Amino acid sequence: MSPRLPLFENRYAAGVMLATRLEEHANSSAIVLAIPNGGIPVAAALALTLEIEMDIVVSRKLPIPLLPGGGFGAVADDGTTIFNEEVLRAINLDEHQINYQVSKVRNDIRQRTLLYRNNRPLAIVKGRTAIIVDDGLASGYTMLAAVESIRRRQPSRIIVAIPAASEKAVTAVKKAADRVIAVEVADMPKFYIADYFSYWNDLSDDEGLRCFKDYQMRRREKQLPPIQASHIDPSAPFKRRMR
């Protein structure tokens, strides 16, 4: 069962709405960490509204062979790997198949990390509130890998912020994060993030990078403090969701 009407015009609008639930972190040392690609416009809108720093944490689903829409876990950019044991038992992959998919995703993550970070150092997270953002949670495993990865960098606390999520995913992520904030949580057999947006597309790497660079430009225009180191684009080519 899908929501009667989409809750958000686009990812940018969803980030602005999330900001109203995190106002206590405005103009603070908190840092927003976006999961590419779909989490970037949400995170950029959130970070610019609250006037706080933003960076990227790359986390990717482990796709099921011959069923790429499904996943059996996720991998983060520091190598953190989380498996969905229930799915693994159901699909009966052997060790070679699992290792092949993990290796393939890690290679994709290396390429994506190079794209977004280039020679730019990691932002300092230690001792700060880390707000990890994506455009939604279906199974939650991509977020779980990101949370575990960021936890190793010793933030004071981790907040997960998403526009919409399945109840099952929120339950799982609450066990790993210190706080989970979702505008909408749904309990339904099939959960589709796209149903919550009037305009939706799967962002390409180029679109995600353009969005991130746009955030950096707008941050400079706002004269916010420089990033501590160790796309917002409302007119982007969103596609109207077919109903």
Which domain does 101 fall in, by range?
11-221
Contact 48, 215 (CB under 8 A): yes
DSSP string, 153-220: T--SEEEEEEEEEEHHHHHHHHTTSSEEEEEEEE--SS--GGGGBSB-----HHHHHHHHHHHHHHHH
Count how many domains the chain has: 1
pLDDT of 188 reads 81
| Domain assignment present for 153 | yes
- Judged against a pLDDT cut of 80, whether residue 136 lies above it is answered with yes
C-alpha 11, offset from chain centre: 12
| Domain assignment present for 240 | no
| Domain assignment present for 51 | yes
| Predicted confidence (pLDDT) per residue in 189-228, tens digit | 788 899 999 999 999 999 999 999 999 999 888 765 554 5
| Domain assignment present for 129 | yes
| Domain assignment present for 26 | yes
| Domain assignment present for 241 | no
pTM: 0.89
pLDDT of 223 reads 63
| Domain assignment present for 232 | no
| Domain assignment present for 229 | no
- The CATH number of residue 27's host domain is 3.40.50.2020
